[in-house]
Structure 1
Amino acid sequence: MQSLPPPNAPAAPLSDELALVVAGARRRALRDGDRQIDTAHLLHSLLETDPDVRAAFDDKGQVARLLGYLVQRSIGYGLRWQGAAEDSGAVPVVVGGATDWSPPAAAAMEAGTGRASSRGEERARGVDVLAALAADTECRAVEVLGRAGVDVARLRQRLG
């Protein structure tokens, strides 16, 4: 029996690669005891799953630093985030119960789909979601990128 999608899940069909990313982000959020899949969960899963996302960084040492930082977060370094809803201010916060996606994570998935659509593609790729994450300067993923020494403006420029 297939479960219903969460109330604010991305509406567009996902590529096989992005379906794996979403499944990984969901597992990570559940394991970490978080109420929502946030943009840092998406970033972590994108880096682990998608070689094109890893290739988007000009310094491969950045990928190792990012993964190290994200692992620290998952084992307790980011506890200040646990139980707190992510709200970058980019979209309204959903009120009235926990949802599966933080508003910025849902917005990143939708923006990734929009980016793919602008190229004439039906389904987004991991780099589309990475570009959307990097575009939201107030989301947790961008905070993680910055703390790991990634020049986010340069990353945005490279991703176009």
Structure 2
Amino acid sequence: MQRPIPRQSAHEHGSRRAENDARLGDELASVIGGARRRAVRDGDRQIDTAHLLHSLLESDPELRAAIGDGPQVARLLGYLVQRSIGYGLRWQSGVEDSGAVPLVTETAGFSPLAAASMEYACERAARHGGPARGADLLAAILVDRQARAVEVLGRAGIDPRGVLARLDGRPDRPEEWVGGGDSVR
């Protein structure tokens, strides 16, 4: 007897909708797909910023270079892998949301911070006149200190403000974190 085809959950449907968003470049749609697969494999209820960061690092050597040198990136990937095998268990029961960014509810499947980061990446891309790229999403992820990806970067000894400055082509660091001291925009 053949088993019925499993129905797609609302979580998966919303993630796939984001992957097909015309404002995203092909590379970013692939990153989202990788983050979605990682979240499902890890048993997480939502795609969060750490899933997105992990997928970005795996897919884009230029972003790895913007984050730091080889040992820094290796340490960061080590923390992300640890998270996927148990380091993040304390996060599985909660929703990633700092309250510093407006809640974006139409992107089901993403944590509130990841959804806001996706939206900000599209806004950032619109300023340069193209679809959102990996650098846009990484910059969007880095602006909120409460993001899980920022926490993992910090644990790996990487300054997210320095990475953001490198992504923006600035030798200096952003002057302030806005939004109640929690984010930069």
Q: Which SS does the other structure have where 2:123 is aligned?
A: helix
1:106 has 2:115 as partner: yes
Match of 1:76 among 64, 86, 99: 86
Residue 63 (structure 1) aligned with residue 73 (structure 2): yes
Give the TM-score taking structure 2 as reference length. Answer: 0.76
Is 1:91 the counterpart of 2:109 in the alignment? no
Question: Residues 9 and 106 of structure 1 are in contact (CA less than 8 Å); yes or no, is this contact kept in structure 2?
Answer: no
| Correspondent of 2:24 among 8, 14, 19 | 14
Equivalent AA in structure 1 for residue 91 of structure 2: W
Structure 1 counterpart of 2:149: 141
Greater RCO (CA < 8 Å, at least 6 residues apart): 1
Offset of residue 93 of structure 1: 7.5
Structure 1: give runs of 5+ residues left out of the alignment. Answer: none
Distance 2:123 2:103 in 1: 19
Q: Report percent identity of matched pairs.
A: 62
- Over 3 Å counting, the alpha-carbon distance change for 1:129 and 1:84 in structure 2 is same
Answer with 1 or 2: which has the greater Rg: 2
Mapped to 2, the partners of 1:60 and 1:17 lie a distance apart of 23
Measured in 2, the distance between the counterparts of 1:58 and 1:75 equals 24
Counterparts of residues 39-50 of structure 1 (less than 5 Å): 39-50=49-60
Equivalent pairs, count: 153
- Taking structure 1 as the reference length, the TM-score comes to 0.87
Runs in 1 of length 4+ with deviation above 6 angstroms?
A: none
> Structure 2: 5+ residue runs without aligned partners?
1-7, 169-185
Letter in 2 for 1:92: L
